[in-house]
Structures are given as C-alpha cells and as structure tokens.
Structure 1
Amino acid sequence: MFILVLLAGLFTTVAATSLNFDSIEFDSDCMKAMCLADSECVQKGCARDDFGRLGCGFFRMNIWQFKQCYEPGREIGEDSEDAWIRCSEDYECASKCIKMIASRFRLKCYGKSDCETIARIHDGGANGCRTGLTLKYWENVKKYCNNC
C-alpha cells in the first residue's frame, strides 16, 4: 500500500514537472489559455506560425513584438535577438510584453472582452481585432478557457 501511494505521488510530480506548470504562477485564465494555445506552456523552442513568423518561448513571441514592448530586460550592448529569446523563455517577461502591446492598441478592439483583445492583438498586431485572420487563434484560446 505504501509503495502504491509513493508511486502515485511520484507520477503526479513527474507529470506536473513535464508540463512546466509547477513553476508558473498564471495571473489570469486568459494568459494560461494563450500559453497553452501557443506552446502547450513549453518554455523553450521556436516555431513558425501560419503566416511564417518565427515565435519563441511560452507565447511564441516574435522579435517584432519584443521590440514593440520596448525590449524589456535587454542589457546595454546586448543583441536584440539574444534579449528576445531570453524574454520569450521567461513567463513573466513574455506575458508582461504581450499585455503591454495589447494595452497600447486596445482602443482598436472596442466591444471585445479583455481576453479577446489581448489574444487577437497578440496574434495579429495592432489591427488584430479588425481582421478575420485572428479569429482562428481566438477560437483556439477559448478552447482552453471557459471564463474567457
């Protein structure tokens, strides 16, 4: 009996560790849903999206997004690409960057929920709420978030 309880505890720990959720404190259901939709909340790695843009880290943040949020954490003399990768692989840095961009352009998403605004601007840039091209991403985010 003791061995079964020990093995069950070990399995739970391994499962939580492999999903990286144990180290992330999600500040909202929306950001968690976006993290899951973008990368299954896997910290490392880069991938191209449907439009050919290279995005890295938890939110598959691209370099242009990093520059639009004023390159947080970039050190003097550091290459922008190195700082971008580091930020994209840091949940706090990446989520703050994405929310900053959304707050800059939120007026272009009149009538949309906060989550839809963040998601569609993240996917489509400043005019993300004004194009149907971001609806597929928004629908994917909603699959992970009942409250969004």
Structure 2
Amino acid sequence: MVKNILHIVYLTGGISDTCLGCICNVESGCRPIGCNWDVNSYSCGYFQIKYAYWLDCGQPGESWTACADNYNCAAGCVRAYLNRYIGYSGCPANCESYARIHNGGPKGCTYFGTKNYWNLIQQQGCTKYS
C-alpha cells in the first residue's frame, strides 16, 4: 500500500529530475562512489545517503549501501525522503527547499547552515524553480 502511495506522489509532484541531477552532481559527480566518512557517520553512493536517511526513505533495495550505489534505487530513496519531509518542513516545494532538506535533514530548509549547500546546487545550474 505504501509503495502505491509513493508512486502517486511521484506522478503528481515532488523534486524535478533537473533538481535531483544537481544534487547528484554536487554529492558525487553523479557516480557510485561508495561510502565516505562525513559528519560523524558514513555517507554512501550517488547522493551520499546516510543510514538514517535510508531508513527514513523506506529502506529500498537489498541494503543501504547497495541502494546508495544503484542510481535508480538511490534516486527513489531521495524522492521518497523529500516527499516525506517537504510538508513537515514548512518550506515551499521548490528545488532550494528540497536541496536544503537533503543536506540538512527534515527541517534543513530552515537552517542557515544549508545555505552554502544551496549555493553549490546553484553552481550546477539549478534555480529555485528547477
């Protein structure tokens, strides 16, 4: 049942492919780079997904690390995570909010510390409305 609901969300809104691509480029050059130590835990794969993030996105794939290094699985995880938290965050559903939530967690779009990450996303060619 949950997977069907998530599928409907993908069709009716959520992060654009363009914005998702900018995040992927910033995180890994959009390559399956494995895991790296980052802020007290490992971040893995195309989108540098942390274990807790993978849990929050519904634990897709065979495992956290396998999903993170599989583009389709990782992109689905990011979409599910962002769709889950965009309403909770109180921020508008746009590329800036999605990028900042990806970087800073469920309310990341409200944290000053995620502004630098948004600047990196903009350097990839994305705008608030990408």
TM-score class, shorter-chain normalisation, is 0.7 to 0.9
Name the amino acid aligned to 2:99. Answer: A
User: Do the aligned partners of residues 110 and 120 (structure 1) sit closer, same or farther apart at CA in structure 2, a change above 3 Å counting?
Assistant: same
- Deviation sequence 1:78-97 (CA, Å, 0-9, x none): xxxxx001000011111111
Q: Deviations over 1:71-122 (max 9, x none)?
A: 0124xxxxxxxx0010000111111111111111112444545212221111
1:57 equivalent to 2:45? Answer yes
- Contact 2:23–2:99 under 8 Å retained in 1: yes
Match of 1:96 in 2: 76
Q: Secondary structure at the match of 1:126?
A: coil
Three-state SS of the structure 1 residue aligned to 2:105 is helix
8 Å CA contact 1:120–1:138 kept in 2: the answer is: yes
**Kindly tell me: are residues 108 and 142 of structure 1, through their superposed partners in 2, closer, same or farther at Cα, counting changes over 3 Å?**
farther
Q: Return the alpha-carbon distance in structure 2 between the equivalents of residues 56 and 90 of structure 1.
A: 10
Please state if 1:39 is matched with 2:51: no
Q: Which amino acid aligns with 1:127?
A: K
Query: Structure 2 unaligned runs (5+)?
Result: 1-15
* Structure 2 contact 33–69 (Cα < 8 Å) conserved: yes
- The aligned amino acid for 2:118 is W
Residue 87 of structure 1: aligned partner: 67
Structure with larger Rg: 1
More helix by share: 1
Counterparts of 2:126 and 2:98 in 1: how far apart (Å)?
A: 16
C-alpha distance in 2, partners of 1:48/1:139?
22
- RMSD between aligned residues: 1.8
Distance 1:146 1:123, change over 3 A: closer
- Give the Cα separation in 1 of the matches to 2:35 and 2:100: 20
Q: Which residue of 1 aligns with 2:17?
A: 28
- Identity between Structure 1 and Structure 2 (%): 29
